[in-house]
Structure 1
Amino acid sequence: MTYTHPKISIRLAPELGQNCIYFSFKDKFTLDASENATRYWSGLFDANVDVAYRFVWDCSQMTGFEPSARKEWYTAMKKHKNRISHITIISPSLLIRGAARVMMEAFGIKSKMLKTKEGLHQLV
């Protein structure tokens, strides 16, 4: 399972744990990228209704996001929040980590913030 868009790629990451989905964000996250990506991972959730997932959001190459893209992502997260067990956010940007933390608190999803990928494998 792999999805690729110029602004995001999504793949299963069994090396990081069972039912882990790895998201790599690039440049500015756009509404188009958010709509297509959420459709993709929501479809995975819909096809596997008894599975809970752990997310890794690698935002180390993300430069920002459009508010409309965040709103679209938020809508998909709201729909599936009970099936997301944990989210790890990787970003050197305090702004991006802060925005992600607010989202996690709004949904009550456990999260871990990392500035770099170093230590990511220790989460398994």
Structure 2
Amino acid sequence: MKVIFGVVGVCVVAFFVFAFVLSRTPENQAFAAAQDSVRERLVDPSSAQFDGLRLVSSEDGKFVCGYVNSKNRMGGYAGRIPFVYGVDSYFSYVISDRKDAFIAGEKNVKPCFPSIDVPANAAEADRRF
């Protein structure tokens, strides 16, 4: 009986060690840092729901891309909004309109969201998507 409890105990410990090691992969660390950075930019950080997270590499660096949905000032969810987080720069961009895309810049947006039209200048950025 003691042997069975010993084997079960070792298996449980091994499971938790394995789960901890997997959670500390560079990809998971980048995802966690991206989520923290994006939350800092939201009206209601605790309401943030993330999906579609992926790690993208380009000649300009590594980026975490995905979508965030969170509550706005009215208390309702705003809908899925794309975001980009620069793994090397530790800076995130939430892209809700053309002005945000312009501020983020083409080198930060295009690796993640090639279909987003990044305006070339501030005058173009004032137009709607």
TM normalised by structure 2 equals 0.31
The structure with more strand, counted as a fraction of residues = 1
Rg larger for = 2
TM normalised by structure 1 equals 0.32
